[in-house]
Amino acid sequence: MKIRIITAVLLVACVSTARAATDEPIQPIQLVKEINLAKADLGKQLFFDGRLSRSGILSCATCHNLAQAGVDNLQYSVGDRWKLDDINTPTVYNSSLNFVQFWDGRASDLQAQAGGPIGNPVEMGGFTHVIVTDVLKTMPGYVTEFNEVYGTNDISFDEVTGAIAEFEKTLKTPNGRFDHWLRGDKNAIDAQELAGYQLFKSIGCSACHNGEGVGGNSFQKLGVFAPYKTNNPAEGRYDVTKKDKDRMTFKVPMLRNVALTYPYFHDGAARTLHDAVETMGRIQLGRKLTPKENGEIVAFLKTLTGEFPSIVLPQLPAGSDATPLSQPFAGTPEAHHFQ
């Protein structure tokens, strides 16, 4: 079997050839990247494979539903044996634009993030790195593919997370209506949406929500002019650094496709965009937005929905006699492991 060519350049042409509005705080999403296609293809299989979880049925795609804007639209995701996660699941689309990963920024990049849910006892059941790689080694198809991509018959956890991260780099959503407007098509958005964008800038939203991702590139305190009231115990960066100055400081969420990624905030407390905009105006900007202002900003935010890539479900490698059977309600991690 010949080794596939594994490096390619993805060149996605802009629909409009007009010059981009370079003086705006938001930039169009760009898709000019070098992608290792074989590695990304392997990562795609791993992304959809529930056998990386203790139960054998939960995968990255369970919470990051690629047919549902990369989220599950739940306040808290349902994990191993129906346990609820303790923080809202952000979208995986455009996640490569984040300067760090997770709400508290504890992962420096996509690869570091990919290992988190697998080892989390609430999310995917807390498999150790060794168990994950041992399970994968029982599947001849995976052994062959890891050899093709990494040039080794062994499988390491770093290779697993590296492949998943490579696939996630392909999950970008360019060419939203606002991207077309930024590139010079002034008919791409209507008067209400343009008014919402101008208001978004003038009252200070764009100070934090800017760049390609319209956020995702800084930490900010949640509750500048008024405390954010929540029963959720998460305290953002403080949970990582234990420094008082970081208490209730979170990574600013991206607003790309935000109309589809409800509910909002780290605790999923805002059910609608109108609710989220009202709260942010009040506690972050010290401003009580009128219904008209709220509606204009919401209208603008809806223009940030982009074009989603076509995702063909992968055919996963078959297991062997040595591959553990799925046990969704197994009592302990050891019960799912094998000798």
The torsion angles phi and psi of 35, rounded to 5 degrees, stand at -120, 130
Angle at 239 between CA 233 and CA 244, to 5 degrees: 100
User: Does the pLDDT at position 221 exceed 60?
Assistant: yes
Q: Are strands 219-221 and 32-36 parallel, antiparallel or unpaired?
A: unpaired
Task: Report the alpha-carbon distance of residue 60 to residue 49 in Å, rounded.
Answer: 8
pLDDT band at 88 (very low <50, low <70, confident <90, very high): very high
The set of residues, in sequence order, having a beta carbon less than 8 Å from that of 101 and lying 6+ positions away, is: 95, 107, 108, 109, 110, 112, 113
> Which of 24, 34, 123, 168 is an active site residue?
123
Rounded CA gap, 12 and 61, in Å? 25
- 287, with CB counted inside 10 A (0-12, 13-18, 19+), is middle
Pair 38, 148: CB distance under 8 Å: yes
CATH fold for domain 178-302: Cytochrome Bc1 Complex; Chain D, domain 2 (1.10.760)
Amino acid at 70: G
40: pLDDT strictly greater than 80: yes
Is pLDDT above 80 for 159? Answer: yes
**270 pLDDT above the threshold of 80:** yes
The pLDDT value recorded for residue 329 is: 74
Predicted TM-score (pTM) of the model is: 0.91
Task: Give the Å distances, CA to CA, from 277 to 73, 96, 216, 332.
Answer: 18, 25, 17, 43
Q: What pLDDT digit, counting tens, does each position of 68-84 carry?
A: 999 999 999 999 989 99
- Residue 60: the pLDDT is 97
pLDDT given at position 328: 83
| Catalytic residue flag (residue 278) | no
Q: Report DSSP letters for 67-91, one per residue.
A: TTTTS---SS-B-GGGPBPSSPPPP
| Contact between residue 33 and residue 9 where contact means Cβ atoms under 8 Å apart | yes
Q: Residue 263: is the preceding peptide bond cis (ω within 30°)?
A: yes
| H or E segment and range at residue 284 | helix 273-284
Question: How high is the pLDDT of residue 293?
Answer: 98
Among 2-11, 227-236, 278-287, which is the least confidently predicted range? 2-11
Residue 183 has pLDDT above 70, yes or no: yes
The contacts of residue 224 (CB under 8 Å, 6+ apart) are: 283, 284, 285, 286
Q: Is the pLDDT of residue 3 over 70?
A: no
For the chain, where do the domains classified as CATH 1.10.760.10 start and end?
A: 32-171+309-336, 178-302
Decide yes or no: CATH 1.10.760.10 for domain 32-171+309-336: yes
